[in-house]
Amino acid sequence: MRELKLLARSWETLASTLLIATAFGFVFGRNYAAGLVAVNFVVAALYGYVQVLREEELGTLDGLRLLRQPEKVVAAKFLALFSASLAASLFYSAIYYAVSMRVPELWLLLPTSAYFAAASTASALLSTAARSAVTTSMTLTAALVLGYSVSFAAGRIDPATLAMPLTALLALLALSRALVQ
Amino acid sequence: MWKRYSSGWVLRGVSLEVRDTVVIYGANGSGKTTLVKILAGLVPPTRGEVRRPGRIGVALQHPMMHPDLTVEENLKFYAGALKADYREVVELFGLEKYLHAKFSHLSYGWRRRADLARALLGGPEALLLDEPMLGLDTEGRHAVAEIVRRFKGPAVITASSMCDYVEVGAGAWFELREGRLHPTVPTCGPT
């Protein structure tokens, strides 16, 4: 709940998300999947900053560390990012439909949003655990989503790719003690 | 405990057993905050170990309440995680009138008070307070001193000014200098 409230209070990020999703809806009017990946990449990076990196800068992540509940913290961060990615994807899909009058491939929404949210949460937490800069998080996110994006571009979403979000989330929870404490 | 950063050693063999209230005095940059963070478990020591009691109430110089949430939302979140009632600390620190205010809209002194209230949620077994009186007015300093005096358990408080902390009635005083703790006595009368 705390994480969702934080997302809602960051109106600049919300405005950026809506603008980006709208822009991509126009730009990718011919290729739904490409636009979906692009929207999720930008949104995951933006909200990864709000949810984790800004909290580290403010010092408020220390408060969460002191609770000694790393799995809960990581799960809450992931869920908040997933919600934001999914909402942005839905908004993008609506714009895409309005512009192209083609029905979007809505089955792609859940795995894409889940994967990008997991990748962004993992990158942000890894860079805070390593006490490195925001740019490290961005580099890690870019590296983590590369495989997924290539798979999309090649036009084949195989079972291994679809299993990635769940695998990434499980890895994240397994690493949570090292990442948040 | 020993702690080294890339700039060099900050702590060079600090050994401390805390049974009641201890004030650690030191100049800016002497390593007080590093010591508190190690004791809290937020920073690992380079060498040595810390044995902690159960739950510790920690307040650092930067508040751990999120600026985008209200005081009540912040306290409710931490109280929920600790299965505690936040209304007790609200009363203790006189925060009633600021409950619905966004944390970032409070003055520095009230932000510190609210964050100290967070540290006391759920009745911690020990306290770690990093310069808790910094930025507080006279009333706020008296309130903090009263709370520490009443606290039954080990407490470590850091101070960059001795005068402000005489009132807490500490059982021991140390000066953190050149990475080591030196027993000392406060050089200021009660305020």
Examine residue B62 and state whether it is found in any structural domain, yes or no: no
Examine residue B98 and state whether it is found in any structural domain, yes or no: yes
Q: Which amino acid is at A7?
A: L
Q: By percentage, how much of chain A surpasses pLDDT 90?
A: 29
What's the rounded Cα separation, in Å, for the pair A133 and B40? 24
User: Beta-strand (E) ranges in B51-154?
Assistant: 56-59, 126-130
Tell if the pTM clears 0.90, that is, is over it: no
Number of structural domains in chain B: 2
| A120 at interface of B, judged by CB pairs closer than 8 A | no
Q: How far does the CA of residue A67 sit from the closest CA of chain B (Å)?
A: 7
What's the rounded Cα separation, in Å, for the pair A81 and B25? 43
Number of neighbouring beta carbons within 10 Å of residue B80? 13
Examine residue B179 and state whether it is found in any structural domain, yes or no: yes
Say whether pLDDT at A62 is over 80: yes
Q: Note down the domain range covering B73.
A: 67-117
Examine residue B81 and state whether it is found in any structural domain, yes or no: yes
Q: Which residue has the tokens 């057993």?
A: B17
What's the rounded Cα separation, in Å, for the pair A80 and B69? 16
Do B12 and B50 belong to one domain? yes
What's the rounded Cα separation, in Å, for the pair A93 and A115? 18
Which one of B79, B98, B117 terminates a domain?
Answer: B117
Tokens of A101: 């009058």
What's the rounded Cα separation, in Å, for the pair B27 and B25? 7
| A54 at interface of B, judged by CB pairs closer than 8 A | no
Examine residue B189 and state whether it is found in any structural domain, yes or no: no
Do B8 and B31 belong to one domain? yes
| B69 at interface of A, judged by CB pairs closer than 8 A | yes
The answer to whether the beta carbons of residues A83 and A13 sit under 8 Å apart is: no
Please indicate whether residue A161 or residue A31 has the higher confidence score (pLDDT).
Answer: A31
Q: By percentage, how much of chain A surpasses pLDDT 70?
A: 94
Residue B191's pLDDT is 47
Q: What residue of A is the nearest CA neighbor of B57?
A: A66
> Percent helix, strand, coil in chain A (nearest 5)?
85, 0, 15
Examine residue B191 and state whether it is found in any structural domain, yes or no: no
Do B78 and B170 belong to one domain? no
φ and ψ at B172, to 5 degrees? -150, 150
Taking only the tens place, the pLDDT of each residue in B94-130 is 899 999 999 999 998 899 999 999 999 998 999 999 9
Taking only the tens place, the pLDDT of each residue in A82-141 is 999 999 999 999 999 998 899 998 988 998 899 889 888 988 888 888 777 777 787 877
pLDDT lower than 70: segments of chain B: 189-191
Please indicate whether residue B4 or residue A173 has the higher confidence score (pLDDT).
Answer: B4
CA distances from B62 to A17, B21, B74 (A): 30, 22, 15
Contact state of B73 with A65 under an 8 Å Cβ cutoff: no
The answer to whether the beta carbons of residues B139 and B163 sit under 8 Å apart is: no
Contacts of residue A71, Cβ cutoff 8 Å, sequence gap at least 6? A173, A176, A177
Q: How far does the CA of residue B132 sit from the closest CA of chain A (Å)?
A: 16
Say whether pLDDT at A30 is over 80: no
Taking only the tens place, the pLDDT of each residue in A48-57 is 888 888 999 9
Do B32 and B78 belong to one domain? no
CATH of the domain at B169: 3.40.50.300
